[in-house]
Chain A
Amino acid sequence: MEQNLEKIFQDKIDREVRIEPKDWMPEKYRQTLIRQISQHAHSEIIGMLPEGNWITRAPSLRRKAILLAKVQDEAGHGLYLYSAAETLGISRDQMYDQLHTGKAKYSSIFNYPSLSWADMGVVGWLVDGAAIMNQVPLCRSSFGPYARAMVRVCKEESFHQRQGFEILYVLSKGTEAQRKMAQDAINRWWWPSLMMFGPKDDESPNTIQSMKWKIKRFSNDELRQKFVDVCAEQVKVLGFTLPDNDLKWNEERGHYDFGAINWDEFWQVVQGNGPCNKERLDARKKAWEEGAWVRDAALAYANKKAKQKQAAA
């Protein structure tokens, strides 16, 4: 029986039919998706922090408004993604709990500090850029609610990426100090953004099954290469450089070669030892704990009102 269901399920996937929440699915598929979607949702929420850090210091009113809108978009992404995960039978509160206890991960990129205004440009260009590379294929994820959430998210992410690039473009045309600020930000964020694609393919154990289930369409290394190829060209428009002496066009491969990633650093940050892991998690926990009385009051009030309505009816 189980085997039969599994066969029907895989058949649908092979025919590119979307799996919906009420459909039968293997438990492992459900768990993998909960892990992936909630991790993505947490990344959106934690990702608000390094950029939120510059809202009160944005250098012009126009930039302030754009940044506010951007960070608000990220909160919205978190919201759609939590809702998509909820269709798989987990509550938002359970997911928060996993985040706060360190059981669930989020994208390590947000464990790096945003130190200058140029970081707002680089985060948009590279971090949102890498997110788009990762996420565009997810618009065809086999799981319907996730695929649909990603369509909306990707539209907004590409807007963020353009805005980030535009911040850098203006800095590139600015004073010497502004150009230095921008180059420094690129130097700091380049390698961590390459790490956003995850470990090398031969060290990424989930990839094969996820590809078969079509919740992943390209391997980590394929996407990383695509990203390098795009950025190596875009950085020329800015007149800046990427901090990699081995970056070179390889005619034969039709791709850019690039230097070795510091995987030790990657695993250190994943394990919680990045420069801001503690701050990011503490900020979220603090918001959650200090908000408890607000949520309690809202619930108590809603219950009171419901009772009054019932009594009146």
Chain B
Amino acid sequence: MKNEIDFLLHLADNALIIGHRNSEWCGHGPILEQDIAITNIALDYIGQARNFYQHAAELINQQPTNISVTLTGNDMVLPATEDSLAYLRDVREFKNLLITEIPNGDWAQTTLRLFLLSTFQLQLFTQLLQHSDTQVAAIAEKSIKEVSYHLKWSQDWVLRLGDGTEESKQRMQTAIENIWAYTGELFIQPEFATAACLNYSAIQTAWNQKVSAVFEEAGLSIPPKTFVQKGGANGMHTEHLGYILAEMQYLQRAYPNSEW
């Protein structure tokens, strides 16, 4: 059960942190319609995070003893809730992929990151439809609808910018170089990802196909093999995550035990 809980937290943390990053654009987007679109995507991710956290909390609270869901051994606040899981864990307890936490950069980097991540998520969630926990399968089914839209939207931007102007092409290519080192982590199966329905190498194959096809159409090139930055699932993060959490968790930390 610990594995399933950790896996749910991993999915929830991914959604929360990418949602947070996308929400930073709200009010600052390059085109009003696109400002609305990215805010809507952020909202979808916050919704997914809530679904995964709620289910994780349910499982945690069903455990007979206080199982440790933290890596640093901090006591988990019980009963667990979606908010205690999101707001009262620290950097080393977060299990999100590094690609979700790196800064937005420009519009090219933001849309590229979403394209690379949602291509991965679509494959992962499709496998989760077969999960033995029907609740997980149900959340995956709902999320697939959203992630398919995120993929289409971000793919359109990769094409548009890759095949737009000289400047946009160059920015997209720079974004690829900035982000590429964080893509390898997508296919490293976390130790707690033990569900029988999971097959990370199949995800990788499908991801490679999709990404190469879109890059080719956009006239973008994949960098030569780069070092893989990894560790998010085990709580080894970039320095950026601490700032995200400091901002996100500030009210819960400054005014403990309050209802909002």
Nearest B-chain residue to A181, judged by Cβ: B255
Instruction: Report the bound CA distance from A45 to B26 in whole Å.
Output: 11
Do A178 and B39 have beta carbons less than 8 Å apart? no
- Where the two chains meet, the residues of A that have a C-beta atom closer than 8 Å to any C-beta of B are 45, 48-49, 52, 55-65, 68-69, 71-72, 75-76, 78-79, 82, 92, 117, 167, 170-171, 173-175, 177-178, 283, 286-288, 290-298, 300-301, 304
**B-side contacts of A173, CB under 8 Å:** 259
Point out residues on B near A: beta carbons under 8 Å. 16, 20, 23-24, 26-36, 39-40, 42-43, 46-47, 49-50, 53, 82-83, 86-87, 106-107, 159-161, 163-165, 167-168, 171, 244, 247-248, 250-252, 255, 257-260
CB A58 to nearest CB in B, in angstroms, measures 8
Residues on B with beta carbons closer than 8 Å to the beta carbon of A49 = 27
Q: How many A-B residue pairs have CB under 8 A?
A: 140
What residue in chain A is nearest B171 (Cβ atoms)? Answer: A293
Cα A82 to Cα B49 in complex, Å, equals 34
A65 and B160 form a contact (CB under 8 A): no
Q: Is the CB of A56 within 8 A of B164?
A: no
The interface residues of chain A, by DSSP majority, are classed as helix
Dominant secondary structure of chain B at its interface with chain A: helix
Q: A71-B26, A78-B32, A295-B30 are in contact. Are A56 and B247 (CB under 8 A)?
A: yes
Distance of A288 Cα from B106 Cα, bound (Å): 13
In the assembled complex, the CB of B137 is this many whole angstroms from the nearest CB of chain A, namely 22
Q: Is the CB of A297 within 8 A of B161?
A: yes
- Tell which of A52, A64, A117, A291 touches B107, judged by Cβ atoms closer than 8 Å: A291
Kindly identify which residue among B34, B43, B244 contacts A68, using a CB–CB cutoff of 8 Å.
B43
B165 touching A283, Cβ below 8 Å: no
The answer to whether A174 touches B23, judged by C-beta atoms less than 8 angstroms apart, is: no
B160 and A175: CB pair below 8 A?
A: no
Closest to B168 in A: A297
Kindly identify which residue among B34, B43, B50, B257 contacts A69, using a CB–CB cutoff of 8 Å: B43
